[in-house]
Structure 1
Amino acid sequence: MTIAIRDLTTFDEFQQVRQIQQRCWGFTHGEGLYAPLLISAARNGGMVLGAFDGAQMIGFLFGFLGMNPDRRLKLCSQTMGVLPDYRNRGVAAQLKWAQRVRMLAVGIDLITWTFDPLEAPNARLNLHTLGATVFAYDRNLFGEDFGELGRGLPSDRFQASWWISSPRVNRLAAGEAAPPEQLAGPQANPCAGDGLARRIVHTDLALSSPVVHVEIPADIQALKRADLALARDWRQQTRLVFEAYLGRGYVVTDLLRLPAPGGRQAIYRLQRDDGPYGERVLGFAGYGL
């Protein structure tokens, strides 16, 4: 399968973006990106990319120019969607790497976006594959039941920062493998049980080691279907853990996938930060930013 990534320019293409978004999020009441807004963004410093399998658009990535608190220009990467039949094939990564190339070409070195902390596949892409980091957590940013994927839970979000010219991202862009995936510090939310029955036993908000780990469900969508109350418990307890450690200067730097009975565990790595906006993060085994 060969997927082509290109900039979108026509009204029909922007309408297709809206249709793909509605399918991906399960929107049923007309929600979605407004085609004239996409045209204005694309013509005035923003970016709308499409992923194509032949003539068919199968994914998109939309971002607009923004400003960091230090008045640094950045790209706010607002929405990305890939049709279900094309997921887990690297399409999302292709879109993001293409976005990086275009931003480097115009002298912008920071791209930011949000994602659900309990969505392990998204976290894996954002942190492990792309090399983004997380410095902030927002509670219920888009309200309860945001689209079909968010149904049943508050829409808590991580704020991701992608420093696209950093040594770490440069290495990943060049195809260099990440370090071996292993735990290198204590876990702030020890868990018990297997599969969809796995739950948090207790939380420790006072750890002070350079590296701290936080487990999340391996598949939050399957867990919601099986036990919504348990999924909500994961949301509430991990929310407190992430807020506590990010508030004390830790940074989320990776999502590990470790072998476990009946599947895999998804475990975040948090490290103490020594830079104001992420230019420098304390490294683990020489693999910092």
Structure 2
Amino acid sequence: MTDLPAATPSAPEADHRLVADALTAADAAAHAAGCHVWPISALADLEAACRLFEGIWKPAGENALATTELLRAMDKAGSYVAAAFDGGAGDELVGACIGFFGPPPDGTLHSHIAGVSARMRGRSVGFALKTHQRGWALQRGATQVSWTFDPLVRRNAYFNIGKLAARPAQYLPNFYGPMNDGINGADDTDRLLVAWQLAEPEAAAACHGRHRITDAEAERDGGAAVALGATADGRPLALPVSGPRSLVAVPEDIESLRRGDPRSAAAWRAAVREVLGGLLADGWQVTGFDRAGWYLLEDKDAQ
């Protein structure tokens, strides 16, 4: 069992207001993205969701990310199985997200897979899916959603930390083992586990479009030290950690590096594992991500 921040339940009246506000935010996000988001249970929709996942990750061999039978069982058991449909294209399924509940005392939903078709990227369909998931989870008494993502992928780090205001809780080296798919290649599958505290004002603000902004340049000017930077030729460069705030860089496009320069990609993986993973293990907290490619961390013992 991984360590996550404890979820705090609210009073019934506050819960009602919180859920209503979350559903309003979800409706607004879907409208802005030009899509509809709702739970799915029909076999045709479940099959389409599986095809979407396969098309995004392109797993090697018979290593399916999800099967129709699995999604059918998850839905029947009360887990989260939802999809986004393009309102302007005959309600084509263009995004999907699945999650399951943790042990009953935790009040936690673990979001396992979320993906959006390539043609819909840039329209905030993923944001609409996550805001829907928040409202759905709050309706069922869950106050926290956790999930994992590759810490080297800039757009995912910004989406999860900056746009959704989720907080990294743990660094997980080679979490899934070899996947050998179109995204991870042969690289180790290191992941950051994040916890999204659904009832926190910061999460509510994020779902209404008020995102967490981090400016790495301003942080450096204010005294934050670079714990991991890059050399002139784009290689990772670890530096001594000093002061209560640190910045950790990630490469511009790790997926292209894996295809074109796997040795450099492996070097970045090792460096981020050592520096970012080491800081988290020592009790530092990620408090932001600059979409230019920088994690901002603070030493909680120095606060």
Fold in common (TM above 0.5) = yes
| Cα displacement (A) at 1:145 | 4.2
| Most deviating of 166-175 and 57-66 | 166-175
Structure 1 partner of 2:226:
187
| 2:82 counterpart residue number | 49
| Counterpart Cα distance in 1 of 2:65 and 2:178 | 17
Cα gap change, 1:177/1:138 in structure 2, threshold over 3 Å: closer, same or farther?
closer
RMSD between superposed Cα atoms in Å:
1.9
Shift of 1:67: 2.8
* Percent identity between the two aligned chains: 26
Q: TM-score, normalised by structure 2?
A: 0.81
Give the conservation status (yes or no) of the 8 Å contact 2:213–2:288: no
Deviant stretches of 4+, over 4 Å: none
Change (3 A) 1:252 1:23: same
Which residue number in structure 2 is paired with residue 270 of structure 1?
Answer: 297
Residue identity in the other structure for 1:36? E
Q: 1:123 to 1:102 in 2, by over 3 A?
A: same
Question: 1:29-40 counterparts in 2 under 5 A?
Answer: 29-30=61-62, 31-40=64-73
Q: Which amino acid aligns with 1:11?
A: L
Match of 1:287 in 2: none
Report SS of the residue matched to 1:251: strand
Matched, 1:172 2:206: yes
Of structures 1 and 2, the one scoring higher in RCO (CA 8 A, sep 6+) is 2
For 2:146 and 2:35, how far apart are their aligned partners in 1?
A: 24
Tell me which protein shows more helix as a share of its residues. Answer: 2
Relative distance call for 1:209 and 1:242 in structure 2 (3 A) is same
Paired residues for 1:8-23 under 5 Å: 8-23=40-55
Partner of 1:237: 271
2:102 is matched by which residue type in structure 1?
Answer: G
Q: 2:97 aligns with which of 39, 61, 66?
A: 61
Residue-by-residue CA offset, 1:167-192 (whole Å, 9 max, x unaligned): 21122123324346234211111322
Given that 1:132 and 1:253 are in contact with CA atoms closer than 8 Å, whether structure 2 keeps it comes out as no
Amino acid at match of 1:186: A
Q: Distance in 2 between matches of 1:131 and 1:60?
A: 21
Mapped partners of 1:190, 1:29: distance in 2 = 37
